[in-house]
Chains A and B, each alone.
Chain A
Amino acid sequence: MKYAWYPGCVSQGACPELFKATLAVADKLEIELVELKEAACTGAGILSERNPELSDTLNARTFAMAEKLGLPIMTICSTCQGVMSQANFKLRNDPDYLAKVNETLALEGLEYKGTTKVSHLLWIIVEDIGLDKVEPLVTRPLTGVKIAPFYGCYILRPTMFLDFEGHPERDTYIEQITTTLGGIAVDYSGKTRCCGFPILTMNEKASYAMSGDHLIEAKEEGADVMVTPCPLCHLNLDAAQPKAARQKKVQIGLPVIHLPQMLGLSFGIPPKKLGLNRHIVNTKSFVAKVPA
């Protein structure tokens, strides 16, 4: 299986461990990745706030690059996935708009015909690879480990842009993968809510209240670890966890890991190679719970 890989800004910025873990896991899953090194930021939903056409054009440019390679795109960030899905939906369903965007892409000799499929690694594992193919790769099952999923808004809503009609169970994939890897999926109401990251600098207190609430709820439901397919959520749940805990006046100490780190650990990849030592909340307690 071969994909045009869009790693996104954060896996090359504040979450370098995600980049590393993705490469290690892709190797095990026999996913061949062709990195789109010239692709720009998606705009993170913020650029479209100022200038929707500009944001859609940058994404169309990325889609055109993948189209030229004849490959679908693989993302590893819920936000990148959501912003790209929304842009792709608009471009595919409005030929006049697509033509207008292509006028700008012509500046560098590119054209987007509207054929590129964009999928998050989370979807690729369930829909393209299949959980039955993942199961035999598990050499260190997550037996007895309680894992709380945290999806990230952009990969869940609005469902009309994310093809939930074709794949109505996309909001259960983390749990399905968890079970396949031998772990126990923890159910709690916060798993599909907002981490609070987008308002971190605008309303810090509300932002920490959101991440704190979800972390505390997951812990109360017995979670040993939280797993997310979104590095932005990861920043507010892991890096900001000490501040959220201080605001909530409780000890939280819940490790938060990236989706490929969970997969990698169960595939027997050493924790260090997955960057599990590069988190703010120490992941040792979680790793120790996974039978060697």
Chain B
Amino acid sequence: MEVAVKIKRFNRESGSGPYYEDFKVECDEHEMVLDALIKIREYQDQSLALRCSCRSAICGSCAMRVNGHAGLACNTKITDALARSDTIVVEPAGNTTVVKDLVVDAKPFWEKIGKVQPWLSPVGPTPDHEYIVDNADMLALNQVMGCIMCGACVSDCTVLEVDKRFLGPAALAKALRFAGDPRDGIQAERLQTLGQPGGIWDCTHCFECVQVCPKGVAPMDQILELRRKAVEQGFVNNNGARHAESLANSVKRSSWLDEKRLIVESYGFRNVGALLGLIPTALRSLLARKMPPLFHHKRPGADKVKRIFEKLESK
């Protein structure tokens, strides 16, 4: 079959901006997008730059955007990529600096991985033999250990698009790999650091990383696990932890959200600046009669909901 491929090209040395180039390439139905790209490079334009190595979704080199979403070109079937479009659009990974065509600068990615101290830091005396770990503890880390560092999650992270400080899904998932390991001795320090701006509370729950991860790591789920651990360890003096606490209390009390109280409690009563900043929006909402009820009331059945909370929170 003849496949139409549109590739986003860029050559820093040329001095001109990025542009799209159309190719037609003969492919078999069972082939992957990477096969099409390699054929284009081998037989049509040797200047096309791309990274690839294992061709088996193990090395993580060929992460790029196919039809607007990040993934590995080597495990994206051509037929799947053509399911809803006549042309396969291939672009470099997002949230990165493009070096040439589909090759991006990986340095910032590795710098962020480095920031989470991706190694075990045991404390106490070294055991005579190996460190013994419970099987169940390691099974809990299986999912996150499946990460191949391809950066697909980072490419499509919506927070990184607007805030480069954010550690991002790959680094935070890697942080859980060590913060969740029973051999690690600095879990509290890790969680405290990860709770700072740019860390776990800056994830926006957009599920992009869960959707595009080619290895089922679900980085966002790992970030939420870090949040759970941070709260368990008492690192609750931040807007994210306060927001979660306020929401849970509101549902427990009344069975639904007390939106006015939620926003005030999230910022914290002492955060006068942020609370004053709410006044213009509150006034505009009041004028538009776009406000929650003045007095938050209990929903019918709220007592039953409270009983569920009491049973499951005590576990």
Q: Is A157 in contact with B210, judged by CB distance below 8 angstroms?
A: yes
A44 beta carbon closer than 8 Å to chain B? yes
| CB-defined contacts of B240 to chain A, threshold 8 Å | 201-202
| Proximity string of chain A (188-222) to chain B, C-beta cutoff 8 Å, 1 when within and 0 when not | 01000110101101111111011001000000000
A107 beta carbon closer than 8 Å to chain B? yes
Q: Is B163 in contact with A206, judged by CB distance below 8 angstroms?
A: yes
Q: Is B255 in contact with A194, judged by CB distance below 8 angstroms?
A: no
| Proximity string of chain B (253-293) to chain A, C-beta cutoff 8 Å, 1 when within and 0 when not | 00111010001001100000010000011001100111111
Which residues in B have some Cβ–Cβ distance to A below 8 Å? 68, 83-84, 158-159, 161-163, 166, 197, 201-208, 210-211, 224, 227-228, 231, 238-240, 243-244, 247-248, 250-251, 255-257, 259, 263, 266-267, 274, 280-281, 284-285, 288-293, 299-302, 304-305, 307-309, 311-313, 315
| Proximity string of chain A (228-245) to chain B, C-beta cutoff 8 Å, 1 when within and 0 when not | 000000000001101100
A159 beta carbon closer than 8 Å to chain B? yes
CB pairs A–B below 8 angstroms (17 shown): A10-B259, A13-B257, A40-B305, A41-B251, A47-B248, A61-B308, A104-B311, A107-B308, A108-B304, A153-B208, A157-B210, A158-B210, A202-B240, A203-B197, A206-B166, A210-B158, A240-B281
A58 beta carbon closer than 8 Å to chain B? yes
Contact of A40 among B207, B243, B256 (CB under 8 A): B256
Q: Is B290 in contact with A201, judged by CB distance below 8 angstroms?
A: no
CA distance A40 to B300 in the complex (A): 9
How many residues of A sit at the interface, in one of the four size bands? 35 or more
CA distance A278 to B291 in the complex (A): 9
Q: Is A209 in contact with B244, judged by CB distance below 8 angstroms?
A: no
Q: Which positions 39-92 of chain A face chain B at CB distance < 8 Å?
A: 39-41, 43-51, 53-54, 57-58, 61
| CB-defined contacts of B257 to chain A, threshold 8 Å | 9-10, 13, 41, 44
CA distance A159 to B293 in the complex (A): 35
Instruction: Report the minimal beta-carbon distance from B194 to chain A, rounded to whole angstroms.
Output: 13
CA distance A242 to B248 in the complex (A): 30
CA distance A204 to B263 in the complex (A): 12
Q: Is B158 in contact with A193, judged by CB distance below 8 angstroms?
A: yes
| CB-defined contacts of B312 to chain A, threshold 8 Å | 51, 53-54, 57, 104
Q: Is A158 in contact with B207, judged by CB distance below 8 angstroms?
A: yes
| Proximity string of chain A (2-30) to chain B, C-beta cutoff 8 Å, 1 when within and 0 when not | 00000001101111110000000000000
Contact of A153 among B68, B205, B243, B256 (CB under 8 A): B205
Q: Is B266 in contact with A201, judged by CB distance below 8 angstroms?
A: yes
Q: Is B307 in contact with A201, judged by CB distance below 8 angstroms?
A: no
- A159 and B211 in contact, given A47-B251, A54-B308, A194-B206 (Cβ under 8 angstroms): yes
Q: Is B162 in contact with A40, judged by CB distance below 8 angstroms?
A: no
Instruction: Report the minimal beta-carbon distance from A196 to chain B, rounded to whole angstroms.
Output: 6
CA distance A13 to B202 in the complex (A): 25
Apart from the given pairs A203-B202, A206-B159, A206-B166, 14 other A-B contacts in the complex at a CB distance below 8 Å: A12-B293, A38-B300, A38-B301, A40-B302, A46-B247, A48-B224, A51-B248, A107-B311, A108-B307, A157-B206, A157-B208, A204-B274, A239-B290, A243-B280
A280 beta carbon closer than 8 Å to chain B? yes
Q: Is A40 in contact with B248, judged by CB distance below 8 angstroms?
A: no
A136 beta carbon closer than 8 Å to chain B? no
- A43 and B251 in contact, given A13-B259, A14-B291, A51-B313 (Cβ under 8 angstroms): yes
4 A-B pairs closest in CB distance: A38-B301, A157-B207, A13-B292, A209-B162
Q: Is B284 in contact with A14, judged by CB distance below 8 angstroms?
A: no
CA distance A196 to B203 in the complex (A): 10
Q: Is A14 in contact with B292, judged by CB distance below 8 angstroms?
A: yes
Of B207, B228, B266, B304, the most chain A CB neighbours within 10 A belong to B207
Instruction: Report the minimal beta-carbon distance from A193 to chain B, rounded to whole angstroms.
Output: 5
Q: Is B251 in contact with A243, judged by CB distance below 8 angstroms?
A: no
Q: Is A278 in contact with B288, judged by CB distance below 8 angstroms?
A: yes
CA distance A37 to B256 in the complex (A): 11
A140 beta carbon closer than 8 Å to chain B? no
Instruction: Report the minimal beta-carbon distance from B162 to chain A, rounded to whole angstroms.
Output: 4
| CB-defined contacts of B293 to chain A, threshold 8 Å | 12-13
Q: Is B263 in contact with A201, judged by CB distance below 8 angstroms?
A: yes
Q: Is B290 in contact with A194, judged by CB distance below 8 angstroms?
A: no
A168 beta carbon closer than 8 Å to chain B? yes
| CB-defined contacts of A240 to chain B, threshold 8 Å | 281
- A278 and B289 in contact, given A14-B259, A43-B251, A201-B267 (Cβ under 8 angstroms): yes
Q: Is B308 in contact with A57, judged by CB distance below 8 angstroms?
A: yes
CA distance A50 to B226 in the complex (A): 10
A279 beta carbon closer than 8 Å to chain B? yes
CA distance A210 to B206 in the complex (A): 12
CA distance A57 to B162 in the complex (A): 35
| CB-defined contacts of B315 to chain A, threshold 8 Å | 53
| CB-defined contacts of B227 to chain A, threshold 8 Å | 49
- A206 and B308 in contact, given A40-B256, A50-B248 (Cβ under 8 angstroms): no
Contact of A210 among B162, B203, B256 (CB under 8 A): B162
| CB-defined contacts of A199 to chain B, threshold 8 Å | 159, 201-204
| CB-defined contacts of A204 to chain B, threshold 8 Å | 274
CA distance A168 to B251 in the complex (A): 34
| CB-defined contacts of B207 to chain A, threshold 8 Å | 153-154, 156-158
Q: Is B290 in contact with A16, judged by CB distance below 8 angstroms?
A: yes
| CB-defined contacts of A51 to chain B, threshold 8 Å | 248, 312-313
